[in-house]
């Protein structure tokens, strides 16, 4: 991955959340957290000819914490 701030949900669960240091669960909740943001991807301005649908502009495998992104 070209940006070290992008994580898989599994990798995120190994990180400590800096916004809840005094709570029972201090680990990152990944995509279950309101601050989680999926990676924005570039795409071509063409519909898929088979489904006639626009391609997704968000990754389904990598994201980041929207509160601490740098």
Is the dihedral angle over the CA atoms 16, 22, 23, 24 positive or is it negative?
positive
- Tens of pLDDT along 29-41? 999 998 898 887 7
Q: For residue 56, how far is the Cα from the chain centroid? A: 14
CA angle 37, 40, 44 (to 5 degrees): 160
Which of helix, strand or coil describes residue 9? Answer: helix
- Tens of pLDDT along 2-33? 566 789 999 999 988 877 767 777 888 999 99
The domains of the chain are located at 9-65
Distance CA 63, CA 70 (A): 13
> What is the pLDDT at residue 8?
92
pLDDT at 48 over 50: yes
**Rounded to two decimals, what is the model's pTM?**
0.64
Distance CA 57, CA 44 (A): 10
């Amino acid at each position: 991955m070209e940006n070290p701030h992008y994580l898989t949900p599994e990798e995120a669960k190994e990180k400590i959340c800096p916004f809840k240091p005094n709570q029972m669960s201090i680990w990152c909740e990944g995509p279950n957290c309101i601050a989680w943001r999926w990676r924005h991807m570039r795409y071509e301005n063409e519909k898929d000819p088979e489904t006639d649908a626009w391609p997704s502009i968000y990754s389904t495998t990598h994201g980041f914490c929207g509160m601490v992104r740098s």
